[in-house]
Amino acid sequence: MSEKLSGGQEKFGADDRKWRDVGAGLSVLDLHEENGRRLQLARITPQGRIMAHSHRGTEVMYVVSGSLVVDGTRLKAGDVLVSPPSSMHRETWSAEGCELMIECSPDDDLLRS
């Protein structure tokens, strides 16, 4: 349950919000969206993946736990990947599973594999 705080702030626990099962072992929790930017917490199960997509704006990905491979580059907990507008990710997967924080455009496009 969210709690309204002074100064227009809002406090809530991640488990208070509804996770979306996107498929292929990916679940996403939308934390905030404003001014064309979206902040998400993402969980990928072992052997799960993120479908191929292109970026309408800059995407910033922070690996909270676990590891994943993005187009051949392995990222581990604590790593940050910044992808510029118009870039794309063709193959993103996790052997062990992982949790990510992602800031992106809500208008990113899924690509046909």
Residues of the chain with pLDDT under 50: none
Structure tokens at 46: 């072992």
User: In CATH terms, is domain 24-110 a member of 2.60.40.10?
Assistant: no
- Indicate whether this model's pTM tops 0.85: yes
Q: Which of 29, 49, 36, 54 is nearest to 110 (CA)?
A: 54
Element holding 21 (H helix, E strand)? strand 20-23
pLDDT in tens, 87-109: 999 999 999 999 999 999 999 88
The two structure tokens encoding residue 14: 């991640």
Other Cβ atoms within 10 Å of 68 Cβ, number:
26
Distances (CA, A) of 15 to 9, 27, 71: 18, 13, 30
**In the prediction, which pLDDT does 51 show?**
92
